[in-house]
A = this chain, B = another copy of it.
Amino acid sequence: MPLDCTSCPVRERAACAALTAAERSELACLGKGRTYRRGEVVFSAGAPLDACATLTSGLLKISQTAQDGSERILSLVHPAGFVGEMFAPVAHHDVIALTESHLCLFPRRSYEAAIERFPALATALLRRSAQDLFDARAQIALDGRRSANAKLATLLLALARAASHSPCHPATAFELPLTRGEMAALLGLTIETVSRQLGALEEEAIIEREGARGIRLLNAAQLAALAQ
């Protein structure tokens, strides 16, 4: 099944958006679409990395598992995000679907060749990489010396923003795409602390929970204040 860029939900924002129509259709011929279900592994740490991909819909996690089996989530990947390491023969981290996700997969060799051929693609990837770096540093800033409360508030706001279709305003109600354990692994907390802090936020009437995953923001301003 060949890629159909005209109906791609991220055709305006993904790296390939920097290409001309002709270039893009040439690139489209190299790739193939694939859908992953929640929990499916896109790339596995230590495995040879012969592909790279653009996420067109869904949500991925980039994570690392320590020797003792504990997982640390290093990053979430939202639609239009790019995954795959261009300069490493072997994957450093696991990439796993958190929700049903659709990716455009490209053979690594072909993509490298495309970068050589289309300088605009290199620039677009550089821009994306710079954004990823900025996000990673925001996470570092969050990790250090911040209370569990602030971490969770920041995460909820980020997820609310991602769930919203309008780019600026956060969604007022959404489903958490992460388990408590995944939230904990992302924030560097324990499951119990995440659960208790969510309870506390509900206690303070800042959020409302519907079932295990449903979140409604009752007071987004106060949540933002907690996140600083």
Interface residues of A in 31-86 (CB under 8 A from B): 62, 64, 66-67, 70, 72, 74-75, 85-86
Q: What are the residues of chain B within 8 A of A66 when measuring CB–CB?
A: 228
A129/B119 in contact, CB under 8 A: no
Find A188's partner among B87, B119, B127, B144 (CB 8 Å cutoff).
B144
A140 on interface, CB distance cutoff 8 Å: yes
Q: Which of A95-103, A131-139, A216-224 contacts B (4 or more CB under 8 A)?
A: A131-139
Q: How far is the CB of A85 from chain B (nearest CB, A)?
A: 6
A87–B126 Cα distance when bound, in Å, is 9
How many A residues are at the interface, by size bracket?
35 or more
Q: What are the residues of chain B within 8 A of A187 when measuring CB–CB?
A: 144
Q: How far is the CB of A138 from chain B (nearest CB, A)?
A: 9
Q: What are the residues of chain B within 8 A of A228 when measuring CB–CB?
A: 66-67
Which residues from chain A sit less than 8 Å from chain B, CB to CB?
Answer: 62, 64, 66-67, 70, 72, 74-75, 85-88, 92-93, 115-116, 119, 122-123, 125-127, 129-134, 136-137, 139-141, 143-145, 185, 187-189, 228
Contact sample, A vs B, 20 pairs, CB 8 Å cutoff: A62-B137, A66-B228, A67-B228, A72-B144, A72-B145, A74-B140, A74-B141, A75-B137, A86-B126, A87-B127, A87-B130, A92-B134, A122-B122, A126-B129, A133-B133, A143-B144, A144-B185, A144-B187, A145-B188, A145-B189
